[in-house]
Amino acid sequence: MKIKIRVPFFETSVKNYIYGDAVLNYAKAADAASKEYDVDVLFVTPYTEIRRVRENTERLIVLAPHMDAIKPGRGIADVLPEALKAAGAQGVVLNHSEKSVTLNILRKTIDRANELDLLTFVCADTIAEAQALARLHPDILNPEPTELIGSGTVSDMGYVREVIRAIKSIDPSIMVEQAAGITTAQQVYDFIMAGSEAAGAASGILTSVNPQVLLNDMVRSVKRAREDLTMQKRSSPSLL
Query: H or E element: which one contains 13?
Result: strand 9-13
Instruction: Tell me: cis bond preceding 8? Omega within 30 of 0 counts.
Output: yes
User: Is the distance from CB of 50 to CB of 228 less than 8 angstroms?
Assistant: no
172 is a site residue for its own copies (CB under 8 A): no
CA distance 197 to 52: 28
Using CB under 8 A, pick the residue from 7, 18, 116, 229 that binds its own copies: 18
156 is a site residue for its own copies (CB under 8 A): no
- The residue among 142, 143, 110 whose CA lies nearest residue 126 is 143
Q: Is-catalytic flag, 98? A: no
Please measure the distance between the N-terminal and C-terminal CA atoms of the chain and give it in whole angstroms: 30
Q: Is-catalytic flag, 144? A: yes
- Kindly identify the residues of this chain, within the stretch 194-213, that bind its own copies according to CB under 8 A: 202-203
CA distance 110 to 184: 32
Q: Which of 11, 49, 96, 129 is labelled catalytic?
A: 96
Contacts with its own copies, 23-42, as mask; x by CB under 8 A: --------------------
173 is a site residue for its own copies (CB under 8 A): no
Interacting residue ranges for its own copies, rule: CB under 8 A: 13, 15-21, 44, 46-52, 65-66, 70, 72-80, 82-87, 93, 95-107, 124-126, 128-129, 131-133, 135-136, 202-203
Residues serving a catalytic function are 96, 144
